[in-house]
């Protein structure tokens, strides 16, 4: 059981900044994210796009903003459960909550901050009838640890940046990399397309286009995929492999949080915006893109503001009756905290 003061669901910009604000109040945080890395939409959807409305940064790449947020909150040593989706929540007699992920990891905290953005990103799966039988037994929809492919035969399907970038990366790790795409043209960056061609010419990537994976073969574990070549649909063949990684993108869904008894409106969580972004369940807050209230704007800086106010209320829940006087971060804020950054 992982125990913390504030359990944050979602390690996007709002969740990461919550760690910093909570840290100033000497509250410990642990973050859960369904994605294998922090950064939410900034990392998953547009890491190379500049953002122009972060105060004091005339321009910053979304990926760099994530790195800065991680650097800023590192001093407060947050815990991370990455690549796992928060699935259920149970209120305990002492008022705390236990949140369990889809992998069974349990977390307990007196305060839960849902910073789930557009929801957890669910992989778009190819239409292969038995694909779920092989999930985590050779079929993976995102790459959490490239080392697990060392010396293995890997088939990647997809035509975007993820498929291209991972094919390039794994060509140095896996014993065999095959990239399969249903068109001859790729949607990814030109640089990456050129690099894949180069590696194909060097015999380091096996490129099959236009083609699709239409079946999986294997006893309990992936042993081969069935490849159908679009140009000659009758031409189907089995390609032996250890892993099949379809990288067709991720689509966000509010997911299991929608069943937690929270008031939902327009696929977002209703909160009290007069005070602290608390939901209809005391002790559970919703901040950032995931919440809704009159005048809501889905912007990063709004998430930062909401996180800041939410932490003040979390402090009162965790330290009932303890007086707290808000001061600037460079001045003593909490008993015993001298405001210096470690
Ligand atoms: P998110 O970034 O969505 O992060 C939420 C995280 O929660 C995700 O990582 C998700 O995996 C996780 N999660 C959700 N549910 C669960 C669960 N059950 N279990 C585990 N994890 C879960 N905003 C600006 O201010 N300026 C801009 O210029 C700008 N440009 C944008 C451009 C694009 C193309 C897009 C798509 C958005 C842009 N935005 C911009 C909006 C901005 O990205 C969002 O406002 C911001 O990402 C919201 O942050 P968040 O932390 O609230 O949510």
145-154: long-range contacts at Cβ-Cβ below 8 A with a sequence spacing of 24 or more? Answer: 146/170, 146/173, 147/173, 149/173, 149/174, 149/243, 150/174, 151/175, 152/176, 152/242, 152/243, 153/178, 153/240, 153/241, 153/242, 153/243, 154/178, 154/241, 154/242, 154/243, 154/245
Q: Tell how far CA 323 is from the center of its chain.
A: 36
The atom of ligand 1 lying closest to the CA of 255 is 18
Interval 285-290 mean pLDDT: 97
The atom of ligand 1 lying closest to the CA of 41 is 2
**Residue of the nearest CA to atom 28 in ligand 1?**
51
The atom of ligand 1 lying closest to the CA of 256 is 18
Show Cβ contacts of residue 315 under 8 Å, excluding neighbours closer than 6 positions.
25, 27, 322, 324
Q: 88-126, pLDDT tens digit by residue?
A: 999 999 999 999 999 999 999 999 999 999 887 778 899
Higher-confidence residue of 231 and 281: namely: 281
The Å distance, Cα 61 to ligand 1 centre, comes to 14
**Residue of the nearest CA to atom 52 in ligand 1?**
288
Whether pTM exceeds 0.90: no
Cβ < 6 Å from ligand 1: which residues?
9-15, 32-35, 40-42, 45-46, 49, 51, 53, 85-86, 115-121, 255-257, 288-289, 298-301, 303
pLDDT, averaged across the chain: 91
């Amino acid at each position: 059981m992982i125990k913390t003061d504030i359990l944050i669901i979602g390690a996007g910009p709002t969740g990461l900044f919550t760690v910093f604000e909570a840290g100033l109040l000497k509250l410990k945080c642990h973050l859960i994210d369904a994605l294998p890395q922090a950064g939410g939409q900034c990392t998953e959807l547009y890491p190379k796009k500049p953002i122009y409305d972060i105060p004091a940064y005339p321009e910053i790449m979304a990926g760099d903003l994530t790195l800065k947020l991680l650097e800023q909150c590192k001093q407060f040593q947050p815990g991370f459960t990455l690549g796992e989706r928060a699935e259920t929540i149970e209120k305990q007699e002492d008022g705390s909550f236990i949140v369990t992920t889809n992998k069974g990891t349990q977390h307990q905290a007196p305060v839960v901050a849902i910073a789930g953005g557009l929801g957890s990103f669910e992989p778009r799966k190819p239409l292969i009838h038995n694909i779920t039988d092989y999930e985590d037994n050779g079929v993976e929809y995102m790459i959490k640890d490239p080392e697990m492919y060392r010396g293995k035969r890997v088939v990647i399907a997809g035509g975007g940046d993820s498929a291209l970038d991972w094919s390039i990366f794994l060509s140095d790790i896996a014993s065999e990399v095959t990239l399969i795409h249903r068109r001859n043209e790729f949607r990814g960056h030109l640089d990456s397309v050129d690099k894949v061609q180069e590696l194909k010419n060097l015999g380091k990537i096996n490129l099959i286009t236009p083609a699709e994976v239409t079946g999986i073969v294997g006893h309990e574990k992936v042993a081969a995929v069935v490849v159908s070549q679009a140009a000659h649909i009758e031409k189907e063949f089995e390609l032996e492999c250890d892993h099949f990684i379809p990288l067709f993108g991720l689509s966000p869904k509010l997911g299991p949080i929608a069943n937690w008894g929270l008031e939902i409106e327009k696929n977002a969580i209703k909160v009290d915006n007069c005070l602290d972004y608390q939901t209809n369940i005391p002790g559970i807050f919703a901040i950032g893109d995931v919440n809704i209230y009159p005048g809501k704007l889905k912007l990063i800086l709004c998430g930062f503001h909401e996180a800041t106010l939410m932490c003040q209320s979390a402090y009162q829940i965790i330290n009932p009756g303890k007086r707290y006087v808000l001061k600037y971060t460079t001045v003593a804020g909490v008993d015993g905290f001298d405001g210096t950054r470690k």
